[in-house]
Amino acid sequence: MKLVAGNWKMNGDKAMAQALVADLAARQAAKRAASAVVLCPPAYLLPQVAAAAAGKRLNVGGQDCSAEAGPGAFTGEISATMLRDAGCDYVIVGHSERRARHGESDALVRAKAERALAAGLIPIICVGETLEQRQSGDAVAVVRRQVAGSLPDSARQQVVVIAYEPVWAIGTGKTATPDDVRAMHGEIRAQVAGLGPQVPPVPLLYGGSVKPDNAAELMAQPNVDGALVGGASLKAADFWAIVEACR
Q: Which of 49, 170, 202, 218 binds ligand 13P (CB under 6 A)?
A: 170
Identify which range of 45-53, 82-90, 104-112, 207-215 contacts ligand 13P by CB under 6 A.
207-215
Closest distance to ligand 13P from the beta carbon of 173 (Å)? 8
Alpha-carbon distances of 26 from 38, 163, 242, rounded to whole Å: 15, 28, 16
Query: Nearer Cβ to ligand 13P, position 81 or 232?
Result: 232
DSSP string, the chain: -EEEEEE--S---HHHHHHHHHHHHHHHHHS--SEEEEEE--GGGHHHHHHHHTTTT-EEEES---SS--SSS-TT---HHHHHHTT-SEEEES-HHHHHHS---HHHHHHHHHHHHHTTPEEEEEE---HHHHHTT-HHHHHHHHHHHHS-GGGGTS--EEEE--GGGSSSS-PPPHHHHHHHHHHHHHHHHTT---SS---EEEESS--HHHHHHHHTSTT--EEEESGGGGSHHHHHHHHHTT-
Closest distance to ligand 13P from the beta carbon of 94 (Å)? 11
The reply on whether position 128 binds ligand 13P by CB under 6 A is no
129 included as an active-site residue:
no
Closest distance to ligand 13P from the beta carbon of 73 (Å)? 30
The reply on whether position 165 binds ligand 13P by CB under 6 A is yes
Identify which range of 30-38, 72-80, 181-189, 230-238 contacts ligand 13P by CB under 6 A.
230-238
User: Nearest residue by C-beta to ligand 13P?
Assistant: 230
Find the catalytic residue in 114, 129, 165, 187: 165
The reply on whether position 79 binds ligand 13P by CB under 6 A is no
185 included as an active-site residue:
no
Query: Nearer Cβ to ligand 13P, position 21 or 124?
Result: 124
Q: Which of 104, 230, 236, 240 binds ligand 13P (CB under 6 A)?
A: 230
Find the catalytic residue in 95, 104, 114, 185: 95
Cβ atoms < 10 Å from Cβ of 76? 5
Closest distance to ligand 13P from the beta carbon of 165 (Å)? 5
Q: At what angle do helices 178-193 and 212-219 cross, to 10 degrees?
A: 40
State the residues that interact with ligand 13P by CB under 6 A: 7, 95, 165, 170-171, 207-210, 228-232
Residue numbers annotated as active site: 95, 165
